[in-house]
Structure 1
Amino acid sequence: MSAGHAHDHYAPSNFGRAFAFGIALNLGFVVAETIFGFLAGSMALVADAGHNLSDVLGLIVAWAGLTMARASPSPRFTYGLKKASILAALVNALFLLVAIGAIVAEAVRRLFHPAPTAGGTVMIVAAIGIVVNGVTAWLFARGASRDINIRGAFLHMAADAGVSAAVVIAGFVILKTGQQWVDPAMSLAVAVVIFWSSFGLLKESVWMSLAGVPSGIDVDEVEAALEQLEGVVGVHHLHVWPLSTTETALTAHLVVPERSSDELLARARTLLHDRFHIQHCTIQVELSDARDSNC
């Protein structure tokens, strides 16, 4: 019997400057949007400011999660704090739910108690928001496909750019028609867009928090691929789970008819890395005539 253990780390790029710039830029915009929202009597602007504030908090949480995930292993945390990035993604998703609830509550109130809105001010401030959110989203675009924590930051900003565009439309309609109900109605549309864009993040972050198999990996396919390795007659005790938002771990027992060399372990590790992007694998090799172990 022999065992093999390997680590191959995907190290996400350092987004520290992107986070710092994005937080500063959006915090300044939140202050401006809140002030002009109240001056213009626009619930759409105030709602968007509230959502942008949740995004600032989300960026802070995502940055903290990314930083903690880089911590070195210790006797108490032998994998380091890698799961901090998963928790950060989950907190970001929850921030979005809170923002949605606040927006819906105030928009419904304004539908029944409408107030005049300065459409021109709404359009100008929201147009600035398109630029602010668009630039911030661009800062995280290159990491969105590899890390759900970074993807959370990207989705927040990309959704906000779309939301600001919707607010511009609301301001234009109010200027042309004088229909004040358009403002809270657009706020409800904003809430729907936010929920739609964030549901996937919420689902995946909860899944990963529960150590579910990361999306994009089929356990049956992994098992079949390992069984097809030359010299392997069976696979059992196969487990796959996320260590962080970017790293996946696997343990498995490979059953062989006769004692094997380290070459089999090397081929198995290469297969898992190249085909399934699994960076941490612990593989135990057993003889087919040996009694099954439950360890």
Structure 2
Amino acid sequence: MSHDHSHAAPKNLTPAFQWAVGLNAVYVLLEAAAGFMTGSLALIADAAHNLTDVAGLLIAWAAMALAERRPSEQFTYGLGRSTELAALANAIAILVGVGAVVWEALGRFQTAVEVPGGTILAVALVGIGVNFGTAMLFRSSQHGDLNAKGAYLHMMADGAVSVAVVLAAGGIMVTGWTWLDPAVAILVSAVIAVTAYGLMKSSLRLTLDGVPENIDKTAIGDWLTRLPGVQSMHHLHIWALSTTKTALTVHLVMPAPVKASFLADTAQALAHEFSIDHATIQIEHPDGQCETDP
């Protein structure tokens, strides 16, 4: 039986991530303050959306800190799974906030509230600069780094949302239609809800020991059965140790004696080909193999 315990620590946050956290945190405070002072639900909803960006970046930061902690007697796999729980809690909190904004917005359709379109326009224009500017921080590294690509696409989408708020503010200034503010608030909340639902779905999948979305279990099973000397395979289990680390256990039935380097080479190949960080492989002879999965 082989146990590959190569827990390479995640890379430290780059200056791009540090700038992204700082810029978006400052803008969230600015936008939320302007939203409450002017009574603009569009600004408050967009501030909530930008807050999800800050939360996501901070969760990644916390995950890196937890990944550096060594396993203990009580937590033999370490504390990586706390990142999954944090993501789940974050998603639930976002959805609750979305419900509150939508409820208030529906009431605004019946009772109009005057909002200063000029202030909304100015704040949203700053948001366009912050979001698209932050996206540019990740543009050069997005092609070789999945995390950078996710940050780049997310910030570009946020920039588009800020453009929608600008259009609403311009519409209010030109037409005087105050209903545009709650309408855009609902539209932005819908975007937030979709993002939060995806986050909740992914975090629940990991929390319940589901196979991570970026892992193809069928491909791994086919690859293992094609290894030289492997007659069959069973008890293949793949789950997430954290939001960035994946574990695997498998039983391989091999009639002939196994080469000394087989286990280490297989674990190393699983890490290289399929991003499996922690592989445990059990070798069995056909005459003494355990019961297979039902």
* TM-score range relative to shorter protein: 0.7 to 0.9
RMSD of aligned Cα (Å): 2.9
Note if contact 2:87-2:203 (Cα within 8 Å) is conserved in structure 1: yes
- Cross-structure match for 1:33: 31
Change (3 A) 1:138 1:244: farther
CA distance in 1, matches of 2:260, 2:84: 34
1:159-209 C-alpha deviation (Å, 9 max, x unpaired):
433321110010111122111111110111101111223332221111011
- Cross-structure match for 2:247: 249
Q: 2:128 aligns with which of 124, 130, 133?
A: 130
Which one-letter code corresponds to 2:117 in the other structure?
A: G
- Aligned pairs for 1:118-267 (under 5 A) are 118-137=116-135, 146=146, 151=150, 157-267=155-265
The offset of 1:15, in angstroms, is 1.8
- Cross-structure match for 1:292: 290
Note if contact 2:253-2:289 (Cα within 8 Å) is conserved in structure 1: no
CA distance in 2, matches of 1:134, 1:124: 16
Which one-letter code corresponds to 2:203 in the other structure?
A: S
Note if contact 1:16-1:63 (Cα within 8 Å) is conserved in structure 2: no
Change (3 A) 1:267 1:66: closer
1:243-262 C-alpha deviation (Å, 9 max, x unpaired):
11121111111111122122
- Cross-structure match for 1:67: 65
Deviates more, 1:218-227 or 1:38-47: 38-47
Which one-letter code corresponds to 1:103 in the other structure?
A: V
Note if contact 1:208-1:242 (Cα within 8 Å) is conserved in structure 2: yes
1:40-87 C-alpha deviation (Å, 9 max, x unpaired):
442211332344445445544443233223211211222221212222
Query: Unaligned stretches of 5+ in structure 2?
Result: none
Note if contact 2:4-2:264 (Cα within 8 Å) is conserved in structure 1: no
CA distance in 2, matches of 1:118, 1:283: 65
Change (3 A) 1:157 1:222: same
Q: Secondary structure at the match of 2:258?
A: coil
- Aligned pairs for 1:47-86 (under 5 A) are 47-53=45-51, 55-86=53-84
Query: Unaligned stretches of 5+ in structure 1?
Result: none
TM-score, scaled to structure 2: 0.85
Which one-letter code corresponds to 1:231 in the other structure?
A: G
Q: Secondary structure at the match of 2:33?
A: helix
Q: Percent identity?
A: 45
Change (3 A) 1:56 1:98: farther
Note if contact 1:235-1:254 (Cα within 8 Å) is conserved in structure 2: yes
Q: Does residue 85 of structure 2 align to residue 87 of structure 1?
A: yes
Which one-letter code corresponds to 1:257 in the other structure?
A: P
The offset of 1:103, in angstroms, is 1.9
- Cross-structure match for 1:108: 106
Change (3 A) 1:34 1:215: closer
TM-score, scaled to structure 1: 0.85
Q: Secondary structure at the match of 1:240?
A: strand
Which one-letter code corresponds to 1:280 in the other structure?
A: H
CA distance in 2, matches of 1:35, 1:219: 47
CA distance in 2, matches of 1:57, 1:6: 33
Change (3 A) 1:146 1:84: farther
CA distance in 1, matches of 2:175, 2:216: 54
The offset of 1:119, in angstroms, is 1.5
Q: How many residues align?
A: 290
CA distance in 2, matches of 1:94, 1:85: 14
The offset of 1:121, in angstroms, is 1.6
Note if contact 2:135-2:152 (Cα within 8 Å) is conserved in structure 1: yes
Note if contact 1:65-1:87 (Cα within 8 Å) is conserved in structure 2: no
- Cross-structure match for 2:13: 15
Note if contact 1:241-1:249 (Cα within 8 Å) is conserved in structure 2: yes
